[in-house]
């Protein structure tokens, strides 16, 4: 068992940290306030290859697997949860195409996505659905060489960018759930105003309205009525990104707590001298380190999935743990800052707002624990 990173992994991690520190961090407050990622940030992510790290080199990706994806995401999320979230959803959408798509579908969408031409979305949630595909009301009807889609999708990230959307609909022929690749902003595609979230700014979410949107029959992803398997694996792959975003938030909280404890003076000495502060910092470090190695392990599992059901259970377990732990860590870092942490003068305020989103998205934490428990108790 070797916990040492390879040379390639170290280089990708360093490149991501340098980019996050030098480019994203100076813009983090602007991204938070405007709820928008500047194009220069996207350009840099594409130029450095971060928009296609795990995908095949033949398709324009980095060919570096999800181990390196996790390493990069941690550093990007350390600077901005919103940037990392948009990148995570983009990767999830592309991964569904890479895993289940035809040769033609892969060649059409993946090279462009890896190169930064458009951002992918992954659309299952609707106003009336939880996690049950039987509740889907968005309908896809076959009409000659097209499927015609009607319905509403809710809380969709990257919906405001051009690019492919992997969308799940009820198939009017089979009655089952099918997946399709929809080109955003096709005729009949429109958006709500972005939802106003408490945190995670920079990755706005929208309701997507679909009125007689035509999708070529060749854009059916996988087999008709077999979309649930694509959905389950896609959600699990999304949890690799979501868990690592929580990890990046912990790293940010840890670094901010250390910085403040060393710089804030009390009677001429740093507050780091107080045992109460030392205990909080040590708790933060322990929680960060435990989550770190769990995330790195899940990245390794995602690169070479041998048992899809087991991988989905492991992803659920980590997502629930990482999300809740990120909230605990952010609260401890806030305690180190005391009243100063409540002001926008210190990043810990934003880190805390971003953290409390994590347990509520991509499956609430208790549901993730139930999913894992079912896999070991049945």
Q: What is the set of active-site residues?
A: 362
- Token pair of 79 as six digits: 């600077």
The pairing of strands 220-221 and 205-216 is unpaired
CA atoms of 262 and 257, how far apart (whole Å): 9
55 conformational bin, left if phi > 0, alpha if psi -120 to 50, beta if neither:
beta
Please say whether the beta carbons of 217 and 145 come within 8 A.
Answer: yes
Scanning the chain, the segments in alpha helix (DSSP H) are: 7-19, 25-34, 39-47, 65-79, 81-100, 103-114, 227-263, 275-303, 308-337, 348-355, 365-377
The dihedral built from the CA positions of residue 364, 96, 301 and 85, taken in this order, carries a sign that is: negative
Please say whether the beta carbons of 88 and 246 come within 8 A.
Answer: no
């Amino acid at each position: 068992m070797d916990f040492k990173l390879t040379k390639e992994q170290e280089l990708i991690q360093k490149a991501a940290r340098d980019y996050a520190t030098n480019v994203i961090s100076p813009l983090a407050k602007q991204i938070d306030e405007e709820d928008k990622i500047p194009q220069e940030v996207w350009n840099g992510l594409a130029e450095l290859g971060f928009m296609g790290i795990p995908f095949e080199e033949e398709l324009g990706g980095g060919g570096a697997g999800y181990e390196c994806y996790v390493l990069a995401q941690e550093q990007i999320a350390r600077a901005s949860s919103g940037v990392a979230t948009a990148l995570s959803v983009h990767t999830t959408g592309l991964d569904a195409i890479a895993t289940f798509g035809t040769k033609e579908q892969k060649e059409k969408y993946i090279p462009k996505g890896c190169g930064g031409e458009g951002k992918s979305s992954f659309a299952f949630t609707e106003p009336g659905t939880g996690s049950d595909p039987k509740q889907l009301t968005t309908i896809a009807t076959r009409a000659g060489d097209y499927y015609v889609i009607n319905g509403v999708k809710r809380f969709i990230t990257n919906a405001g960018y051009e690019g492919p959307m992997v969308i799940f609909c009820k198939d009017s022929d089979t009655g089952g759930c099918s997946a399709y690749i929809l080109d955003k902003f096709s005729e009949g595609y429109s958006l709500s105003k972005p939802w106003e979230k408490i945190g995670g700014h920079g990755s706005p979410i929208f309701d997507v309205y679909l009125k007689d949107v035509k999708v070529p029959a060749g854009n059916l992803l996988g087999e008709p009525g077999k979309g649930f398997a694509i959905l389950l694996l896609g959600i699990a792959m999304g949890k690799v990104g979501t868990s690592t975003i929580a990890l990046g938030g912990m790293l940010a909280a840890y670094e901010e707590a250390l910085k403040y404890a060393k710089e804030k003076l009390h009677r001429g000495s740093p507050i780091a001298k107080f045992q109460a502060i030392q205990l909080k910092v040590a708790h933060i470090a322990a929680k960060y380190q435990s989550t770190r190695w769990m995330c790195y392990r899940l990245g390794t599992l995602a690169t070479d999935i041998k048992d899809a059901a087991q991988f989905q259970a492991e992803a659920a377990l980590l997502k629930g743990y990482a999300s809740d732990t990120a909230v605990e860590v952010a609260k401890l870092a806030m305690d180190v800052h005391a009243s100063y942490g409540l002001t926008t003068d210190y990043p810990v305020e934003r880190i805390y707002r971003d953290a409390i989103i994590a347990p509520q998205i991509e499956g609430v934490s208790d549901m993730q624990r139930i999913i894992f428990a079912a896999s070991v108790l049945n």
